[in-house]
Structure 1
Amino acid sequence: MKNWAAIDILKGRVVTLVKGDPSTSTEWETDALEAAARWEEEGADGLHLVDLDRAIGSGSNGEVIQSVLRAANVPVEVGGGIRSVEEACRWLDLGASRVVVGTMAFEQSEKLRVILRAVGPGRVAVAVDFKENRVLTSGWRQTESVDILGAVESFGRLGVETIIATAVERDGTASGPDFNAYSALRGIGGIKIIASGGIRFPDDVARLSAQGLDGVIIGRALYEGTVRLAELKGI
């Protein structure tokens, strides 16, 4: 299982949120380049960069993300407000190993098909954010009618190979992952599932690995030091 270090960027700074609410942001005394270098050195398999300003429609941190892409020596996936084919392709051209699309995938499935055809399914992940098994979009502000299982099955039929499933109620809370949800998702159509939200300790990562997940995104636990990437090698 691959361990992805989260770097969420809000107004140019590295932050973590609680349940996706920007008003709860904790700003860390590091910039994105420093954080990327640190997590890479400590053994991250990849970096998960999110432009929170783009996600909520309040600006852009494009230059910050580009600086990380230029410096990184591990795979970097980029997400946050990607709503066009051109933008997705631009990030891949700038060095992202994969783009993460969310709201667009739900609202404009034809654009998702175009991206998948243009760059290949291996370079696209779909973010499926959920609360009480219902899917949230538009920066976690809108609840969709589809449940998480239905969403993953639907994207599988479109040719999506990787889903990043975020348990919104757990995100940034250090309350533990939603193991039941991830167990249900695992094995749907052979889709790779990356878990996000609620990681507290290395044991959480080990349990997700034992469930057969393909990856985990770790945020607050890294910044607070309750998880160290070196401890996860071999899990």
Structure 2
Amino acid sequence: MSFQKDRMLIIPAVDIKNRKCVQLVQGKPGTEQVVIDDPASVAEKWESLGAETIHVVDLDGALGSDKNTDILEEIVERVSVPLQVGGGIRDSDYAGKLLEMGFERIIIGTMAIEKPGTVKELAEEYGSEHIMVSLDSRDSRVVIKGWTEKVPFTPVELAGRLQEEGAGSILFTNVDFEGLLKGFDVKPVLELVESIEIPVVYSGGVSSIKDIELLSGTGVAGVVIGSAIYRKKIDFQEALRYQDPGIRDE
């Protein structure tokens, strides 16, 4: 599914660590607040509740451990809505393998920043619409390698370059607020959306329906929600009302 103008997809997250669906605080191992067996069944649940796209992250891969490739394959087999996947995609071969496996979009971060030209290469081979670049921000600087290493650029500084290279969309995660369920600062979101023409999906700190309402006025093409829906701070089906302006205003 490609992103559509004037729609803000509500995208549930399925994060995988130690073969389970988890939610971490600010991406730090050992901070698991949600642990559920069988990630594929969790993805199926979100599809049954109306999700049009699901966000899958291999946290083990992102942190340099063994990848959960078999679980990713199972999710693709059991879920029919489009899936976007990230975590540990550090070379073009693995990126291609995931797209050929059936994922709609791959999300690359570290590789896009450390290996200039990779985005262009993947976009030319598979199409820009299948290439999402993750710009994760801590203290207003982009972080890579599972949020463990900071680079000397802001998200806006990198976003323009990545758009030129062929990225089809940007996933912007504000790590300062990730997993804390305390809301977020909307200013960096607005700055990023206004700086580029490709769709921006937001993640990090979304903890209430009011947060979703706030994002619906920023121009983002989607919002990824994790901890808040697992810990029942947000009713997922209520959040879905914000996907379409017409339904939202009823």
TM-score (norm 1): 0.97
Distance (Å, rounded) in 1 between the aligned partners of 2:81 and 2:159: 27
Displacement after TM superposition at 1:189 (Å) = 2.6
1:58-207 matches, cutoff 5 A: 58-207=65-214
Q: How many pairs does the alignment contain?
A: 235
Tell me which amino acid in the other structure corresponds to 2:239.
L
Does structure 1 retain, via aligned residues, the 8 Å contact 2:209–2:239? yes
Q: Deviations over 1:11-42 (max 9, x none)?
A: 10111111111121224234211210111111
Poorly superposed stretches of 4+, deviation over 4 Å: none
Whether contact under 8 Å (2:24, 2:34) holds in the other structure is: no
Q: What is the match of residue 17 of structure 2? A: 10
| Residue aligning to 2:220 | 213
* Percent of pairs with identical residues: 31
Q: Which AA in structure 2 matches 1:53?
A: D
CA distance in 1, matches of 2:80, 2:224: 18
Give the partner amino acid of 2:35. W
Q: Secondary structure at the match of 2:32?
A: strand
- Cα distance in 2 for partners of 1:202, 1:30 equals 27
CA shift for structure 1 position 152: 1.0
Q: What CA deviation, in whole Å up to 9, does each residue of 1:76-112 have, x standing for no partner?
A: 0111010111111111111100100010000002222
Cα distance in 1 between the residues matched to 2:189 and 2:176: 14
Distance 1:73 1:206 in 2: 28
| Alpha-carbon distance in structure 2 between the residues aligned to 1:143 and 1:56 | 15
- SS where residue 36 of structure 1 aligns? helix
Q: Structure 1: state its 5+ residue gaps.
A: none
1:10–1:51 contact (8 Å) kept in structure 2: yes
Output the CA distance in 1 between the equivalents of 2:225 and 2:50: 13
Secondary structure of the structure 1 residue equivalent to 2:230: helix
Shift in Å at residue 59 of structure 1? Answer: 1.2
Separation in 1 of the partners of 2:210 and 2:73? 34
Q: Which amino acid aligns with 2:70?
A: E
The answer for unaligned runs of 5 or more in structure 2 is 1-7, 243-250
Q: Could you tell me how far apart the structure 2 residues matched to 1:229 and 1:36 are?
A: 13
2:170–2:199 contact (8 Å) kept in structure 1: yes
3-state secondary structure, aligned to 1:33: helix
- CA positional deviation for 1:172: 0.4
Deviation at 1:145, TM superposition (A): 0.9
Measured after TM superposition, the shift of residue 65 of structure 1 is 1.0
- C-alpha RMSD of the superposition: 1.1
